[in-house]
Amino acid sequence: MPKDMDVAKRVKVIEWLKTEVMDYTARLFKSLWEGSTTKVMDSLASLIVSSYILGRRVGISYEDLDNSILDKLHQFKKEGHQLEDWYQDISKLEEHLRKR
C-alpha cells in the first residue's frame, strides 16, 4: 500500500472513531433519560472501548492510558474532588483498576 494511502486510511479511521465516541455519548445520554440500566451499561462500555481504541490510533498505548487514568484519579483525590469526599468513588475506582 502506498504511504499516502496508508496515511489517508489512518486519518479516516481516526475520524470514524471520533464519530463513534460522539454516537455512544449521545446513546448514553438517551439511555440515562430512558432509565434503562442495560442500555446505560452498553453505552458506557462502548464509549470506553472506543476511547481506548481512539487513543491507540493516535499513538497512546493501552498501558499508558491506564497509567494516565490512575494519575488523574490520584490528582482528583489530592485536589479533594467532591465525589471522593461524598462517596469515595475516586478511591474505589483507583482500587479497582490497581487490582486488575
CA distances to 11, 12, 23, 64, 86 from 51, rounded to whole Å, are 16, 16, 12, 13, 27
Q: What is the pLDDT along the chain (100 residues), one digit of tens a residue?
A: 666 678 889 999 999 999 999 999 999 999 999 999 999 999 999 999 999 999 999 999 999 999 999 999 999 999 999 999 999 999 999 999 999 8
- pLDDT, residue 100, reads 84
* Residue type present at position 67: N
- Give the predicted TM-score (pTM) of the model: 0.88
> Which stretches does DSSP call E strand in 16-91?
none
The C-alpha atoms of residue 68 and residue 100 are separated, in whole angstroms, by: 15
- pLDDT, residue 32, reads 98
Helix, strand or coil, per DSSP, at residue 10: helix
